Amino acid sequence: MITVNEHYAKLQASYLFSDIAKRVAAFQQSNPDKDVIKLGIGDVTNPLPPVCVQAFHAAIDEMATEAGFRGYGPEQGYDFLREAIAVNDFQARGAQVQADEIFVSDGAKCDSGNIQELFSLETRVAIPDPVYPVYLDTNVMAGRTGGYADGRYSGIVYLESNRENNYIPALPSEPVDLIYLCFPNNPTGSTITKEQLKVWVDYARANKALILFDAAYEAFIRDESLPHSIYEIEGAREVAIEFRSLSKTAGFTGTRCAYTVVPKECMAYDAQGNGHSLHALWNRRHCTKFNGVSYPVQRAAAAIFTPEGKAQTKGLIDGYLDNAKIIGSAITQLGFEYVGGDHSPYIWVWGDRDSWDFFDLLLDKAGVVCTPGAGFGRCGQGYIRISAFNSRENVITAMERISQALG
């Protein structure tokens, strides 16, 4: 008989953002006359940059001709996009990433979940708390954890990020093989310095561990002393894989384009201690299970790296960061403590109460959707995450409503 993957039964009842959507839908059904402003899920609200739209149209026009039509493209991505990424996102900052080390995909969420297929089930995994739920859930699905109790899975090493350590976790106190890091962090919005990141790289090199570095929000960094990429750190090419996304950078949440960098020096080991190229393994997996991002999308993505594209995407991000300042100012006036918002679209608010209670309060009294911090891990209890992804007008209205509800 056909049997199920019983590890799925360990997962919590629903994915965090699905649970939020159900609560919002129930509220709207009960209150059809009330307008809801969503500052919860990290989905952008502004249109694609004009330069991307123009490139999109031009590529579609090409596809309408016999000479310009393209069928299956290279699974790893077209050279014109991979070269643009290598030069602009890495080499311009002194990180020597080459075009053939870049794998274009349809989302960093997919890549960060799929990458764990390369590693044995005995791999000891360290995951920050709080953090983006996909890292944890995909390892639960794979079978690397035990059961769930008191807000955590056995078999996972949790890296606690809290007010006491300024949301930068300490090195694990027990041996680990695979380490997830995310900076600027989702959900806390915290950033990491080069000196702090080097500590992690040195640890990985000393212990033959691997870092999975999620840099989906690097374009929001405005302090140029902070690292945009882990490959700005000496030795990182040996021990780190980096994930990037164009979703928040250029509004590609509905268009789907991201990429993963796997340096050729990056190794994993078999039971006998023999090294194996992760670049080769990921390429094999990518070619087997992925047919590539469409040509028009990749042409639109490449337009981001033109002078016009850089200016337009910076304008989009600056607008969201301005929203974050409005949120932060209102939160401060209400007397709440928060972090984030300066190099991130997220504001992490300490509410000193149950996260879901705080969520329900803002929804019921203000008609504003946030994200309960407890959904990101046990260390998120007591917090909410407010997203700056909305129009300036909606953000101002939302904060006025929250101020009235809590003032």
pTM of the model: 0.96
What's at 227, amino acid-wise? P
Query: What pLDDT, on the 0 to 100 scale, is given for residue 97?
Result: 98
Query: What pLDDT, on the 0 to 100 scale, is given for residue 19?
Result: 83
Contacts with 305 (C-beta within 8 Å, 6 or more apart), sequence order:
84, 85, 87, 88
Percentage of the chain exceeding pLDDT 70: 99
Query: What pLDDT, on the 0 to 100 scale, is given for residue 280?
Result: 98
Query: What pLDDT, on the 0 to 100 scale, is given for residue 12?
Result: 79
Place of tokens 């044995």: 120
**What is the enclosing helix (H) or strand (E) of 193?**
none
Which two structure tokens, joined as six digits, stand for 398?
């939302």
Task: Give the lowest-confidence range in 27-31, 181-185, 188-192, 253-257.
Answer: 27-31
What's at 330, amino acid-wise? A
Summarised one tens digit per residue, pLDDT across range 251-307 is 999 999 999 999 999 999 999 999 999 999 999 999 999 999 999 999 999 999 999
In angstroms, the CA 349 to CA 302 distance is 36
Summarised one tens digit per residue, pLDDT across range 3-33 is 999 999 998 766 677 888 889 999 999 999 9
**What is the enclosing helix (H) or strand (E) of 381?**
none
Look at the chain and count its residues: 407
Query: What pLDDT, on the 0 to 100 scale, is given for residue 151?
Result: 87
Task: Give the lowest-confidence range in 31-45, 59-73, 128-142.
Answer: 31-45
For residue 58, the tally of other CB atoms under 10 A from its CB is 15
Which two structure tokens, joined as six digits, stand for 140?
């639960």
Q: ∠ at Cα 170 (168, 173), nearest 5°?
A: 160
Query: What pLDDT, on the 0 to 100 scale, is given for residue 13?
Result: 60
Percentage of the chain exceeding pLDDT 90: 94
Query: What pLDDT, on the 0 to 100 scale, is given for residue 270?
Result: 95
Per-residue pLDDT band at 246 (split at 50, 70, 90): very high
Query: What pLDDT, on the 0 to 100 scale, is given for residue 18?
Result: 80
What's at 75, amino acid-wise? E
State the Rg of the chain over Cα. 21
Does residue 32 have a cis bond before it (omega within 30 degrees)? no
**Residues 182-208, mean pLDDT to the nearest whole number:** 98
Summarised one tens digit per residue, pLDDT across range 326-360 is 999 999 999 999 999 999 999 999 999 999 999 99
Buried (b) or exposed (e) across 23-51, using 16+ Cβ within 10 A?
bbeebeeeeeeeebbbbbbbebbeebbeb
Query: What pLDDT, on the 0 to 100 scale, is given for residue 14?
Result: 64
In angstroms, the CA 246 to CA 208 distance is 31
Summarised one tens digit per residue, pLDDT across range 100-144 is 999 999 999 999 999 999 999 999 999 999 999 999 999 999 999
Domains and CATH numbers, the chain: 6-47+308-406 (3.90.1150.10), 53-305 (3.40.640.10)
Could you tell me if 246 and 253 are in contact, meaning their C-beta atoms sit under 8 angstroms apart? no
210-214 and 240-245 as β-strands: parallel, antiparallel, unpaired? parallel
